[in-house]
Amino acid sequence: MKHLLLTTALAAVLAACGGSDGAAQSQAQAPAEGGQPWETRPANAPSQTPAFPGQTRAPEVSADVAFEVETVAEGLNKPWAIAFLPDGRMLVTEKPGRLRIVTAQGALSEPVSGLPEVDARDQGGLLDVALDPDFATNNLVYWSYAEPRGNGTNATAVARGELVETGDAPRVENVQVIFQQQPAMDSTKHFGSRLVFDGQGHLYVTLGERSILAGRAQAQQMDSALGKIVRINHDGSIPQDNPFVGQAGVRPEIFAAGVRNVQSAALHPETGKLWEIEHGARGGDELNIIEAGENYGWPTIAYGLEYSGQPIGEGLTAKEGLEQPAYYWDPVIGPSGMAFYQGDLFPAWQGSLFVGALRDKHLVRLTLDGERVTGEDRLLVDLGERIREVEVGPDGAIYVATDSEQGKILKLVPQAN
């Protein structure tokens, strides 16, 4: 969404960021567009004004879909990400540093050997996983992780390796670290990070700004990869059509700037644009539609407040030259994991955007009209567990991973008649 030239709004974000096994859930029909919003809790920053109608608190809109929740796998230690193999099995990362293969029947492999060391403290660990678009011929797997850099410092890194399943246990071979966020920081927070291939030979990597003040300021510094979305080639080299290639003092991998901690990202199935959702502080989780070379404002502009209750910076929510979010939440949902639904199992959900909620412990469904959010629905509200990952499986079911030391892979399927 191109930035709007708006009158600056002044203001005085707590991200952590339902249904039982086999239980059917039916979503009652909600008011049509223009009705009451799902979100009725007081905003953390009630004096802040949205930049345009519908930017927050969209009407509650249900598709009246009845579904069941099935448990696919259990006993995973803080599962963070899911990637489906061509045969329907899943690669699942566990935050402490393990990668496993999970069958459709829920059997867990031994941990995949050969991965590099991770810094699993706090918000670190083994994070996203993705298959190379040519996996069928090269068996390459990519993963992001908190990489220890010495003297207590760390940063997000991306590695790739060839998945080999011969012998007693799976392993990765010919491992290469293809990207290292610079600079490293002494922090255990805000690593990002999601991996998204764009279908044109490029890989997007979303990167946090490490939370601490020394890192936060670098979200607006173009010689730093903190608080950025970067775009690299499959081998880690820099695409020559990246927006800042050749500019002095700017890291050439940067595709967009001014983001906080992006743990949700997906490619729009029709436009091919990267959509991301990032954690706010006390309020201000925001959905951004990423354009090459644009600046999404953090921390110069932001919705919500500091965790302390004080304004973020100067309390600005808009400034010329900085992009507005397409949508934001105050209070926060704690976004992590998102997927556009294009499957056949749920025709009424076609075109919806599903988002996991860590803090609110449910699954958010957004209805869309182009790049505009027109409705919001919340599913799995009785689950009682933080949702870390959301994926659509090759069978058209919606898969979610729960964030606990006894984490599960669950899937939503149509209710049996």
Indicate which residues carry an active-site annotation: 190
Q: Could you give the CA distance from residue 197 to residue 233 in angstroms, rounded to a whole number?
A: 9
- Is residue 253 within 8 Å of residue 230, measured between CB atoms? yes
β-bridge mates for residue 60, sequence order: 376
CA 261 centroid distance within chain: 9
Alpha-carbon distance 194 to 216, whole Å? 19
Q: In Å, how far are 74, 201, 306, 367 from 119, measured between CA atoms? A: 24, 29, 27, 37
203 within 8 A of 232, measured Cβ to Cβ: yes
Q: What distance in Å separates the CA atoms of residue 221 and residue 235, rounded to the nearest whole number?
A: 26
Return d(Cα 227, Cα 224) in angstroms, integer. Answer: 8
How far is it, in rounded angstroms, from Cα 49 to Cα 37?
16
Supply the DSSP symbol for 279.
Answer: -
Q: Would you say 156 and 208 are in contact if contact means Cβ atoms under 8 Å apart?
A: yes
Name the residue among 53, 59, 70 with its Cα closest to residue 29: 59
- Tokens (6 digits) for 2: 């191109």
Q: Taken in order 194, 142, 116, 387, is the CA torsion positive or negative?
A: positive
